[in-house]
Amino acid sequence: MTPRLKMKKPIFTNKAPAALGPYSQAIQWGDVVFISGQIPLNPLTGELNNQTFKDQAVQVIDNLEAICNEAGGNLDNILKLTIFLTDLSKFNEVNEIMASRFSEPFPARATVEISKLPKEVEIEMDAILSIQA
């Protein structure tokens, strides 16, 4: 293994859903952590938390937070957040939920409407955060 690859460290916690394919929950490179897309899977049951859109969004943020915590940070360490929605009319609801979970300065963000997400969910988020190495 080359010295550069030794810096690539996988992050895993049982407090967030396991990856659904050949990828890591997150990868740390120095003090930067790249979190894979999270959908509203409850890590304790393996079932979707999808009764309402709000339930889905809250579960996704809970999953992101669990991975942030495992990496040694929290939601405030997120620098960049990407939100994927199957219905962009949920944009304002996402903003309300984010305002209740994140503090200023808020992360940079992109919100994209797409046609379909895994397991037919309505929202997925991925993140980039910075922590102390």
Residue range 8-25: mean pLDDT, rounded = 94
CB distance 31 to 133 below 8 Å: yes
The pLDDT value recorded for residue 28 is: 96
The pLDDT value recorded for residue 81 is: 98
Question: Considering the chain, what is the average pLDDT of its residues?
Answer: 94
The pLDDT value recorded for residue 7 is: 84
Q: What string of DSSP letters covers 26-89? A: EEEETTEEEEEEE-SB-TTT-SB--SSHHHHHHHHHHHHHHHHHHTT--GGGEEEEEEEES-GG
Which pLDDT band, with edges at 50, 70 and 90, does 5 fall under? low
Closest Cα to residue 53, out of 110, 102, 121, 125? Answer: 121
**Mapping DSSP to helix (H, G, I), strand (E, B) and coil, where does residue 6 land?**
helix
CA 13 and chain centroid, separation: 13
Query: Rounded to two decimals, what is the model's pTM?
Result: 0.93
The domain limits of the chain are 3-130
Helix or strand holding residue 128 (H, E): strand 123-130
The pLDDT value recorded for residue 72 is: 96
- Architecture of 3-130 per CATH? 2-Layer Sandwich (3.30)
| pLDDT of 103 above 70 | yes
The pLDDT value recorded for residue 130 is: 97
